[in-house]
Amino acid sequence: RRCNLNCIHCYNNLAGGDKKARQGELTYGDYRRIIDEITEAGCLWSLFTGGEVLIRKDFLDIYTYAKQKGLLIILFTNGTLLTPTIADYLADWPPFCVEISLYGRTKETYERVTRVPGSYERCMQGIRLLVERRLPLILKTMVLSLNKHEIWDLKRFVEEELNLEFKYD
């Protein structure tokens, strides 16, 4: 449930450094056991979400174990913690799909929602990293009072300039 952002609408955003939250999280061993149980029961796909999934230092270990067990994986992320190393890894072990939340077409709107300076540039960099590696990517947003004035411009940007699927709620 930890996240590096503090989005105005989110109920699942404990601070990234929250020690109590981190101590309450499942361990890598717990995840392995659960993945073993669900794959033995016939599960075919899994959605990894958070908070922010990439905040865990062992995320790639968990992800790799799930991939090795044959799961199709969808990742929900805010994209701000994607690095070239993580993007390269995902290109080698591709998920079924990655969905990144993009809360505004402009930096001002996006950061009014996330309440974290610099988060817009990091999100856009994460998007670029995945696009460059031709990973299956969908961009999405929530329509909020803070970003409703940019929804159609955001849709045009995603669909026409980035040539990606766009969803909104």
Mean pLDDT of 136-141: 98
The model's pLDDT over 42-67, given as tens digits with 9 standing for 90+, comes to: 999 999 998 899 999 999 999 999 99
Whether 16 shows a pLDDT value over 80: the answer reads no
Nearest alpha-carbon partner for 52 in 91, 14, 87 = 14
Q: What's the pLDDT band for 75 if we cut at 50, 70, 90?
A: very high
Question: How many C-beta neighbours within 10 Å does residue 104 have?
Answer: 23
Return contacts of 54-58, CB within 8 angstroms, 24+ apart: 54/81, 54/82, 54/86, 55/2, 55/3, 55/4, 55/16, 55/81, 56/25, 58/28
Mean pLDDT of 133-160: 97
Q: What's the pLDDT band for 104 if we cut at 50, 70, 90?
A: very high
Instruction: Using a pLDDT cut of 70, give the percent of the chain over it.
Output: 99
